[in-house]
Amino acid sequence: MEDAVIVSAVRTPTGKFGGNFKEVPAPDLGARAIEAALERAQTSPEEVDEVLLGCILQAGLGQNAARQASLGAGLPVEVPCTTINMLCGSGLKTVTLASQMIRCGDADVVVAGGMENMSRAPYLMPDARYGARMGDTKLLDHLTFDGLTDAFEHYHMGVTAENVAEQFGITREQQDEFAAKSQQKAAKAIDDGLFKEEIVPVEVPQRKGDPVVIDNDEGPRGDTTAEGLGKLRTAFQKENGTVTAGNSSGINDAAAAVIVMSASKAQEKGLTPLATVESYASVGVEPRIMGIGPIPATRAALAKAGLELRDIDTFELNEAFAAQSLAVRKELGIEEGRINPHGGAIALGHPIGASGGRILVTLLHEMKRRDLERGVATLCVGGGQGIAAVLRNGNGTSSNGG
């Protein structure tokens, strides 16, 4: 069976809610990531067999956001495109689907990844079409309703983090310390230029004057301290609550793209892969504690590859909340130094449809930089799921620059 390899991996900078990318539609961010990923992979648009992109907040975007991004990146109209919605796991799910296509012999070159602009999510009027004949009506926030609210318990994702904190004995102090370290590590990584290779700059048009080039993540704050975070009010549970805006991930805008290719195609093109997609797994868990999803997902992915936790050199865990990140680390027994060495979503942000792609891109570049043999990318997923993938280093200096 043909191996699926990743020959390039890029992401846009991550913008804050209402920040640098508030006027840039998600498909435009996706198009920029696709362009750069293909360029770095020394692959022409005509060589692409399919495009798979995650995107959650699709209301008002127009038909098939992935198709828009593909054509925006200059791919031929003959290339089919699919938009994937697995909530937070979407950007990584596209990579597992691409790998399956390649292993089955259905494709040689697949663009995978995700995109999201949470800043541009519209408000919805569900009663307007057939009701609302008199009196007041209601608006639904597409962002919170379709992106951040559990469809079964009908409460915010932050409440699921409170549930995890209570069940696993995670204190407010532990969460604030974790969040502060995430901010500090991410800010240091930016200062040290560690994200430069994985980020593709984005030109943002201005109403007057030349476009502004955005080439750095907007969110990280290196001056964050646990003491400062400890002064914030709890956001989701007033009595005995522990989860705050400071120890939760942000609301963000970004895109990420990777080029998944058959090993034989990469060899034919003379490309050194960043990594081989060794195994992957998706699982379901109780929606009320959705944050534990990475625990069984990681175990399942490792079991498929015949590996143990000790075989993994580094982990990228999406930090939806400090509470669930700490629970995952605790239950899997992962040492602090092996997980999110340069911070995570609490600092860098969580653009839901793009996050799976973002953590994978960061993981691949960290493995390349430090010549690490194996890494795991994993995310919890709203509604009670988890996803994980095991990547094996291509073990060579990438001639295509990643």
Clarify whether 104 is annotated catalytic.
no
Q: What pTM does this model have? A: 0.96
Q: Taking the CA atoms of the chain, what radius of gyration do you get in angstroms? A: 20
Per the structure, how many domains does the chain have?
Answer: 1
Please indicate, yes or no, if residue 312 is contained in any of the structural domains: yes
The structure tokens listed for 260 are: 């998944």
Q: Which of 142, 342, 350, 365 is catalytic?
A: 350
- With respect to residue 199, please indicate whether it lies within any of the assigned structural domains: no
Q: Is residue 212 part of a domain?
A: no
Active-site residue, 156 included: no
Residue 313 lies in a domain: yes
Contacts of 118 (CB under 8 A, 6+ apart): 17, 57, 143, 147, 251, 252, 253, 351, 352
To the query of whether residue 380 is one of the catalytic residues in this protein, the response is yes
Mean pLDDT over 340-347 rounds to 98
Which residue in 18, 312, 321, 280 sits closest to 168, CA to CA?
A: 321
Q: What is the pLDDT of residue 299?
A: 99
pLDDT at 1: 86
- Whether 192 is covered by a domain: the verdict is no
pLDDT surpasses 70 at 124: yes
pLDDT digits (tens, 9 = 90+) for 68-110: 999 999 999 999 999 999 999 999 999 999 999 999 999 999 9
Given the residues 55, 81, 365, 380, the one annotated as active site: 380
**DSSP calls for 308-356:** -GGG-SEEEE--SBHHHHHHHHHHHT--GGGB-BTB-HHHH---HHHHH
Residue 143 has what DSSP assignment? I
Is residue 359 a part of any domain in this protein?
yes
Question: Domain of 67?
Answer: 4-120+250-391
Q: Is residue 138 part of a domain?
A: no
- 109-118, 133-142, 299-308, 371-380: least confidently modelled range: 133-142
d(CA 288, CA 78): 43
The residue annotated as part of the active site, out of 55, 81, 88, 142, is 88
More confident residue, 1 or 32: 32
- Which DSSP symbol is given to 118? G
Instruction: Report the b/e string of 368-395 with b at 16+ CB within 10 A.
Output: beeebebbbbbbbbbbbbbbbbbbbbbe
- Given a cut of 90, whether residue 132 has pLDDT beyond it is no
Task: Please indicate, yes or no, if residue 231 is contained in any of the structural domains.
Answer: no
- Specify the CATH number for the domain of residue 279: 3.40.47.10
pLDDT band with cut points at 50, 70 and 90 for residue 136: confident
Q: What is the pLDDT of residue 396?
A: 43
The per-residue pLDDT for 123 is 98
pLDDT tens per residue, range 22-75: 999 999 999 999 999 999 999 999 999 999 999 999 999 999 999 999 999 999
SS3 breakdown of the chain: % helix, strand, coil, rounded to 5? 40, 25, 40
